[in-house]
């Protein structure tokens, strides 16, 4: 592979053992799809660029992630993209081994198409303006749990509406009472420390 970046080498070397084969494989495919790409580090994670970002990858304590910058413009990619908690920070959910990745042929196709889109200067789809989502009404058990911890209650009020909604939706979406109670317990601990719902995926908390 040409155009290798030493910082990407260092990132892979520091990754957990389970993640190294995944990151190396993604890197190899990216270079095969676009030999002219350039490697870089953005927001603390490796990215592959050709006239713009094609895709990027990341490694965490228990999983890795692969993400495309413009999945809506790549045929077939949007249809298989994960949503909700499974999405984590990529279109393919939590990657814990090579078998969690789509077939090489599909990844190569998507990477090549992403590079072609960048080269063609295709404008990103214009997103319709969406009205700002209002703060959700929290159920009584949610409010009672927060009020049981003064510091958590105070910190929760400092969060944005979007951050508060993430917690409310996460807790209320629990399928069983046991799951709900476990989420409430975790929420209190995280909010008390000023952590947003998805703090585990943020570079500052790694």
Q: Long-range contacts for 195-200 (Cβ within 8 Å, ≥24 apart)?
A: 196/159, 196/163, 196/166, 197/163, 197/166, 197/167, 197/170, 198/166, 200/60
| SS3 label, residue 71 | helix
In a domain, 56, yes or no: yes
The answer on 79 and 164 residing in a single domain is: no
Strands of 45-49's sheet, edge to edge? 38-42, 45-49, 53-59, 64-68
* Structural domain includes residue 17: yes
Sign of the torsion angle spanned by Cα atoms 55, 59, 65, 70: negative
20 belongs to a structural domain: yes
H-type alpha helices, 38-160: 77-80, 84-87, 104-120, 140-147, 150-158
Q: What is the pLDDT of residue 206?
A: 59
Residue 78 in tokens: 């949007």
Q: What is the pLDDT of residue 74?
A: 86
Residues 15 and 97 in one domain: yes
Q: How many domains are there within the chain? A: 2
pLDDT tens, position by position, 75-88: 888 766 554 444 44
- Whether residue 104 has pLDDT greater than 80: yes
Whether residue 35 is found in the same domain as residue 87: yes
Residue 21 belongs to domain with CATH number: 3.90.1150.200
Residues 6 or more apart in contact with residue 139 via CB below 8 angstroms: 172
Is the residue at 134 inside a domain? no
- Whether residues 24 and 108 share a domain: the answer is yes
Give the tens place of pLDDT for each residue, 155-205: 999 999 989 999 999 999 999 999 999 999 999 999 999 999 988 867 676
Q: Out of 132-136, 149-153, 196-200, 202-206, give the one with best mean pLDDT.
A: 149-153
Question: Does some domain include residue 18?
Answer: yes
Please give the residue range of the domain that contains residue 190. Answer: 140-196
34 is a domain residue: yes
pLDDT of residue 76: 82
Phi-psi region of 155 (alpha: psi -120 to 50; beta: other; left: phi over 0): alpha
- Whether residues 94 and 156 share a domain: the answer is no
The answer to whether position 1 is within a domain reads: no
User: Are residue 105 and residue 145 in the same domain, yes or no?
Assistant: no
Q: Is residue 128 part of a domain?
A: no
């Amino acid at each position: 592979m040409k155009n290798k970046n030493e910082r990407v080498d260092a990132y892979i070397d520091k990754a957990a053992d389970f993640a190294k084969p995944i990151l190396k494989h993604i890197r190899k495919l990216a270079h095969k799809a676009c030999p002219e790409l350039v490697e870089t580090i953005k927001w603390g994670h490796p990215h592959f660029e050709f006239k713009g970002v094609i895709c990027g990858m990341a490694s965490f304590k228990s999983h890795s992630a692969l993400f495309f910058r413009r999945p809506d413009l790549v045929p077939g990619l949007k249809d298989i993209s994960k949503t909700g908690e499974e999405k984590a920070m990529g279109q393919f959910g939590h990657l814990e081994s090579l078998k969690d990745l789509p077939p090489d042929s599909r990844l190569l196709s998507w990477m090549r198409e992403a590079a072609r889109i960048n080269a063609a200067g295709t404008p990103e789809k214009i997103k319709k303006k969406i009205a700002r989502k209002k703060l959700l009404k929290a159920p009584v058990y949610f409010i009672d749990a927060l009020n049981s911890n003064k510091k958590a209650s105070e910190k929760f009020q400092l969060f944005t509406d979007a951050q508060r909604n993430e917690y409310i939706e996460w807790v209320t979406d629990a399928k069983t009472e046991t799951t709900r109670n476990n989420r409430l317990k975790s929420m209190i601990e995280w909010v008390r420390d000023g952590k947003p719902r998805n703090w585990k995926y943020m570079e500052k908390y790694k």
